[in-house]
Amino acid sequence: MHTVVVGTSGVTASDVLAVARAGARIELSGEAVAALAAAREIVDALAAKPEPVYGVSTGFGALASRHISPELRAQLQRNIVRSHAAGMGPRVEREVVRALMFLRLKTVCSGHTGVRPEVAQTMADILNAGITPVVHEYGSLGCSGDLAPLSHCALTLMGEGDAEGPDGAVRPAGELLAEAGITPVELREKEGLALLNGTDGMLGMLVMALADLETLYKSADVTAALSLEALLGTDKVLAPELHAIRPHPGQSAAAANMLAVLKGSELTGHHQDGAPRVQDAYSVRCAPQVAGAGRDTLAHARTVAERELASAVDNPVVLPDGRVESNGNFHGAPVAYVLDFLAIAAADLGSIAERRTDRLLDKNRSHGLPPFLADDAGVDSGLMIAQYTQAALVSEMKRLAVPASADSIPSSAMQEDHVSMGWSAARKLRTAVDNLTRIVAIELYAATRAIELREGLTPAPASQAVIEAVRAAGVQGPGPDRFLAPDLAAADAFVRAGHVVTAVEPVTGPLA
């Protein structure tokens, strides 16, 4: 099994995906263990002094003015975890919780938090044992970190609360730790606070969304090319020299992908046949511009994610010169903004895909295709309601595109009076990515059927490769009406697994 070694200088997106989705094992580097021990010495020295230090010998948030005596400090750290584990609602996905815990471990190992090495090792042991804390949908405002979600994870570290075992069953965390041979942690000064104060949940979801959207944008370039082909459109608008004079890199990449898919097609270039068209509709002609803008948004979001992955987010932090200083680095605004940007871009990509699907189904705009791609229109309804489903998904995506980060609601007796709502932005982006996958799947289903109905004209070799692959995956071709949901589910699984891209790349070469 792949092993991820956690050091002091951050981790990569690939590391996050390996741990969250592939169950990679985690090891702490010697450098990280040494840094943890050194920072802990500083915290212990401060704890021994009579002067109050936030998070070490004081209360938290609006209660920071109270100095806590030494005999109450272990209780203070336990209490912050128990009281902050106040989430409600459905459980969040296992991969999200694993990403959340791994990213908190990454910051702990930076040597800026003052957590003991044995606490970090226990975090790694829990992940390696396949134990996943129960974390709920609601509880984070995206400021002071993802407090409630991280608290539920810290509760498991203490052997309290509920967690999911490697078999998928939810049981008391203490039982699961005992079976795995893991001793629960007795928290000391600063440690409870350090386990809660991070943007780890929203960052983990950002990293996973970026990976999913990178594949989806390539898949959408392919389905857009198939729709152009099925509509007998022109590929001249994809010429590199046209995109070079508006040098947005994402636009050029999307156009190049579409052009590669359409190479060798007998269906393109018929826009002057029958009723001549000077230009294709925007949803066809402007596909690279819309998808390209989304790709450039992805690039910006990736830059933000990389910066955050390199960060040590905690409050207070232990600095190399021995100071322990309060700060505002836990504020989720940088991550929240790009999560919202991605939801907007995804909604627009879904919207333009739905417009192409609708065009394929409308006999007045499809240039010779049967109404709704039906076998016997009137007797058969064809893909009429598949487009309804796609339209419903697009409509929801437009609602999900309303930015969460534009909102703020004060908390902690107005001490935390401006928050990012980044966790909420991440949660709705996950839904948007799911919906976009389904939207692209419906366009794929319609476009492949439409191409097969163009008798006498041979599609591009790459298009043919997609059609053959999708049929082999159980998505049926043209014919009389049948139970449509299984076909759409198979198309969704095909897109979700990245098979649209893997089907064309042996013909086109790697897509950009």
Active site residues: 54
The Cα 82–Cα 160 span in angstroms is 9
Could you count the other beta carbons within 10 Å of the beta carbon of residue 108?
Answer: 30
69: DSSP letter: P
Element (H, E) at 172: strand 170-172
Closest CA to 328 of 318, 339, 313, 340: 313
Query: What contacts 373, CB < 8 A, 6 or more positions away?
Result: 360, 361, 382, 383, 446, 449, 450, 453, 478
* 5: helix, strand or coil: strand
What does residue 90 show for φ and ψ, rounded to 5 degrees? -65, 160
Across the beta sheet with 170-172, the strand order is 132-133, 162-164, 170-172
Question: How far is it between the farthest Cα atoms of the chain?
Answer: 89
Helices marked H in 23-72: 30-47
Closest CA to 372 of 276, 484, 459: 484
Q: Which two tokens stand for residue 154?
A: 């810290």
Closest CA to 465 of 151, 110, 226, 238: 226
Q: Which two tokens stand for residue 421?
A: 């709502």
CA dist 479 → 374, 375, 476 (Å)? 7, 5, 8
CB 498 within 8 A of CB 215: yes
The amino acid sitting at 196 is L
Query: What contacts 15, CB < 8 A, 6 or more positions away?
Result: 4, 24, 102
Q: Which two tokens stand for residue 333?
A: 């605004």
Q: Which two tokens stand for residue 96?
A: 């999200």
The Cα 342–Cα 328 span in angstroms is 25
What does residue 5 show for φ and ψ, rounded to 5 degrees? -95, 125
* 144: helix, strand or coil: coil
Could you count the other beta carbons within 10 Å of the beta carbon of residue 509?
Answer: 10
The amino acid sitting at 31 is E
